[in-house]
Structure 1
C-alpha cells in the first residue's frame, strides 16, 4: 500500500507540474459567457452571416484556429466555442453529456450570442452534436457542414480510446488527478498517430490549445462524452429524414477514427438529401490539417442555405 501511495503521489506531482506548463502554453484566448453549464469560453471573428464551429471529442476551439477561422472570418461572423467541459468551458459532473444535451448547450450559445440561424459546422463528435441540434431545434440552424462526423452507432471504438471507459466517478477523478496526464504524454506518439494519421501533426497544434486535453477536468469530461456519445444515435438515425436544411459531410478516406464508408458513404446512400465530399488519403483531423479545404467546403454548403433577413451580423455586444 505504501508503494501504491507513493506511485499515486508521484503522479499527482507530475500532473501538477504539467498543468503549470499547459496553462502557460495554452492560455485562454477569447471571451466568456454564462450558460446553464457555467462559464463558456469562445472566440469570435469577422462580420456577416453567422457560423458556429463545434469541435470533437477531447478537443477545443483551437482545433479550428490553424487557419480555418481566419479564412471564414473574411466574410462571416465566426464563433468557435469550447464545448461545455472542454478547453476553458465549465460543465459540472452532474450535467448530461449525451449528444442531445450537447446540442441543447449549443443552442444556449446561439441564443446568448445572438447568432440567429447559424450554419453549424461540427467536427467528429461535434458533427453528431450538430445533427442532434438540427433534429431537436430545427429553427436554430440554416444548414450543417459536418467534418468527419460521428453519425451512426458502432459496435466498437479504437483501442486507444479504451482508457476513457472509466465509469466510476471517484476512480475517474483519482486517475485524472494523478495518472492520466503523465500517461497521455508517454503515449502521445501512438495516440497522435491514430487521431491525425496518416497526416502529420501540425507544429502549431500544441500551441493552439492542443495540450488542454491533458487538464484533469478535461480528461474527466472526455471520458463522459465518450461513454455517452452513442446514447442518442439509434434514435437520431431513425429521424435523419426529418432534417430539411442542407446537410453535407466531408471525410478523409484514410480516417483512422471514424470509418468514412460507415459514417459517410453508407449514411448518404440511405439519406440522399445528405451530400458527401471526400479528401483522398486524409485522416480524421480535417479542420486542423486541411483548414483551407474545410473553409472552402463550408462556403460551398453555405451557398445552399438562406440567411434570415435581419440576422445579427455584428461582433459588438
Structure 2
C-alpha cells in the first residue's frame, strides 16, 4: 500500500468516525435535554437548575459529570429547606467553554464566584462533589465573600499524581491529540463502555437503572465533555499543593463526608488527612459507601448540609429588655 493510499484511508476513517460521533452527540442530547436556565457569566453561558426556597445552597458536580448528578436524588431532599442551585461547570453538561478559557481550579472557582454574584446570592452555602469539592475549597480560599460554609462530598483535596482507573481514558496528551481523540473516538468508545463506566464510578455500590438518562451520565460521553474533562485532568494537580498549604487559613465551617469503600478517591488521603488542616471541620465516614454519595447516601449528606447551614449562619437570639416588666409577677 502506497503512502498516499494510507493517508486517504486514514482521512476517510476519520471522517466516518466524526460523522458517527456527531450522531451520537445529537442522540444523547435528545435523550437528556437541558432542564434548567442559562445565564451569561464571564463570557460563558452557564446552565443551572434553581429550585426551592430558603437559604441559598450552590451545588457543584465533579469530573465528567453535570448538575443532574446532584438533582437526581439530592436536591429533591433539600429544596424544601433551601434554595438549591445546581450548575453545570463550564464545558460540562450544557454550560459552554470558550476556546482558550481557563480550565484550572482557580479559574473555574472565579467563574463560580461571578455566577454567585450574578444571581445575587449573598454568601451561600456551597456543596462540592469530587472535583467540585476542590473548586469549592478554591472558592473559599480565593473568594471568601462568596461563601459562608462548605459541604465537601467525596472531595478531591490533595494532589492525585496517578489517575483513578475509572478516569484513565481521560489522560490524553498533548492537547492536539486530545482534541482529535475527542472529536472522532471518545463518543463511540464511551457509548460502548458506558455501563461499565457508570458501574465503576458507583462501585462497590450498584448504580440506579436510570442514572444514564435522569442522572445525566450520558452527557459525559459527548465529544466536548470528554475534551473538557481531559483538559481538566491535565491541570488539576497544578494548584492543589498551594491550596493544601492554605487550608489552615479557612475560618468557615466545613463538613466533609466520604464513603469508606470509595474506589475513585481515597477517603484516607482526601478525607481523614483534612482533620489537621481545617480548623472548623466536621468529618463523617459512611461505612461501605462508594464515591457517588449524592445518589447512594442521600440522608447522611442532607444531615451534614443541615448541620453546616446552622453553624454557618446562626439564628439571631431574641433580645431581652431588662427594663421591661416581667409578666406574671406582682
Q: TM-score range by the shorter chain?
A: over 0.9
Question: For residues 4-15 of structure 1, what are the structure 2 equivalents within 5 Å?
Answer: 4-15=10-21
Distance in 2, matches of 1:58 and 1:308, equals 38
What is the TM-score of this pair, normalised by structure 1?
0.93
SS of corresponding position for 1:238: helix
Corresponding residue pairs, total: 309
Question: For residues 134-283 of structure 1, what are the structure 2 equivalents within 5 Å?
Answer: 134-208=140-214, 209-283=216-290
SS of corresponding position for 2:271: helix
Distance in 2, matches of 1:275 and 1:304, equals 11
SS of corresponding position for 2:206: coil
- Match for residue 315 of structure 1? none
Question: For residues 14-93 of structure 1, what are the structure 2 equivalents within 5 Å?
Answer: 14-93=20-99
Distance in 2, matches of 1:264 and 1:30, equals 32
Distance in 2, matches of 1:46 and 1:164, equals 35
Select the structure with the greater relative contact order (CA < 8 A; seq sep ≥ 6). Answer: 1
SS of corresponding position for 2:283: strand
Q: State the Cα deviation string for residues 223-277 of structure 1 (Å, max 9, x = none).
A: 1111111111100000101110101110001101100011011221444532210
Q: State the Cα deviation string for residues 107-146 of structure 1 (Å, max 9, x = none).
A: 0110001111000000000000000010011121110000
Structure 2 alignment gaps of length 5 or more: 1-5, 317-330
Distance 1:37 1:204, change over 3 A: farther
Give the CA deviation at 1:291.
2.7
Which protein has the larger Cα radius of gyration, Structure 1 or Structure 2?
2
Give the CA deviation at 1:294.
1.8
| Residue range with higher mean Cα deviation, 53-62 or 167-176 | 167-176
What is the TM-score of this pair, normalised by structure 2?
0.89
Distance in 1, matches of 2:113 and 2:20, equals 38
Give the CA deviation at 1:308.
9.8
Give the CA deviation at 1:102.
1.1
Give the CA deviation at 1:154.
2.6
Distance in 1, matches of 2:303 and 2:199, equals 26
Distance in 1, matches of 2:99 and 2:303, equals 38
In the alignment, is residue 303 of structure 1 matched against residue 310 of structure 2? yes
Give the CA deviation at 1:290.
2.5
CA-atom RMSD, angstroms?
Answer: 1.7
